[in-house]
Amino acid sequence: MTGRPVELVVEGLRYEVDGRTLLDGIGLTARPGETVGVVGPNGSGKTTLLRCVYGTLRPAAGRVLIDGADASALGVKERARRVAVVPQDAAGTFGLTVREVVSMGRSPHKRFWEQDGPDDRLRVARALETVGVSALAGRRFDGLSGGERQRALVARALVQEPGLLALDEPTNHLDIRYQLEVLGLVRRLPVTGLLVLHDLNLAASFCDRLYVLSGGRVVARGRPEQVLTEELLAEVYGVSARVAVHPETGAPNIVYLPERSAGVTPAAGPAA
Ligand code: ADP
């Protein structure tokens, strides 16, 4: 259902808007087939980073390399065959059915005027089934619940057959079963995964490595057990927590201590 996993390298990325630096000196690598998580407090630049990787935002400095090729030199379709994104909200879908929205994911593989062929329709049907929304295929996309919409957007990304699948808060509207399914799917597929996640325990369970953003900079990177320490949670998020090792998975398991968090102040502020 996907192409071949690609390598993603982000080098020295800076993004500015209205004289404000939202990202600065970002370096990130995802090896082919790896699942990399991007975590950090609200406003730390995670979505902006994903948009730079996908190409909807143009960085002021630095490069995004996909299998060694500068992504800014790729055409829109060429880039969309390599990188698919599941955004937090879907623009340009008003009035469309779920099947039509998912079928949009086939456009990088077709000519501008070309209709879906039998192969495209089969891929769309399979993707709808994979994410459990086949029964909704004829319904209007904008009439779905948040979770159903999210799953349809995952299906749209799957039919793009990308080598890199980037998901912005994919678990936002999903109940726990679908959270586990969507994240499990990213791990199972032959794809490089770039996941923006709020839930650090899910990030620890599903990601090979994590990058922590704060104020538009990478403040920590490494395997979940290296990164998710009690010190980091206090410094970056301003919360008190205990981090144990999960007895079954071996992943770090965070238990937050809300009553002790009131006195903890995060060290890093937003980017200037
Ligand atoms: P995150 O995804 O980590 O919550 P974002 O990447 O959405 O963070 O935003 C990072 C910062 O950039 C925030 O302070 C946000 O308000 C600001 N920001 C994002 N987009 C714009 C924009 N187009 N113009 C001005 N500020 C923006």
Determine the pLDDT at residue 1.
52
Pocket lining: 33 vs ligand 1, CB cutoff 6 Å: no
Choice from 15, 16, 22, 237 to test ligand 1 binding pocket (greatest atom count within 8 A of CB) = 22
Backbone angles phi and psi of 179, in degrees to 5:
-60, -50
The whole-chain average pLDDT of the chain stands at 91
Dist. CA 22 → ligand 1 center (Å):
7
Dist. CA 52 → ligand 1 center (Å):
12
pLDDT tens-digit series, residues 124-135? 999 999 889 999
Q: pTM, whole model, 2 decimals?
A: 0.91
Q: What angle do CA 96, 98, 102 make, to 5 degrees?
A: 100
Residue type (1 letter), 26: I
Mean pLDDT of 175-186: 89
DSSP characters over 152-219 = HHHHHHHHT--SEEEEESTTTT--HHHHHHHHHHHHHSSSEEEEE-S-HHHHHHH-SEEEEEETTEEE
**Alpha carbon nearest to ligand 1 atom 11, residue:** 43
Choice from 39, 48, 167 to test ligand 1 binding pocket (greatest atom count within 8 A of CB) = 48
- Please determine, for residue 272, whether its predicted confidence score (pLDDT) is greater than 50: no
Q: What is the number of the ligand 1 atom nearest to the C-alpha of 51?
A: 6
pLDDT tens-digit series, residues 19-76? 999 999 999 999 999 999 999 999 999 999 999 999 889 999 999 999 999 999 988 8
Domains of the chain: 8-260 (3.40.50.300)
Dist. CA 242 → ligand 1 center (Å):
30
Pocket lining: 272 vs ligand 1, CB cutoff 6 Å: no
Q: How many residues does the chain have?
A: 272
- Better-scored residue on pLDDT, 106 or 266: 106
Cβ atoms 120, 110 nearer than 8 A: yes
**Alpha carbon nearest to ligand 1 atom 26, residue:** 17
Cβ atoms 53, 82 nearer than 8 A: no
Q: What is the number of the ligand 1 atom nearest to the C-alpha of 213?
A: 3
Question: Which letter does DSSP use for residue 67 in this model?
Answer: T
Pocket lining: 214 vs ligand 1, CB cutoff 6 Å: no
Determine the pLDDT at residue 265.
79
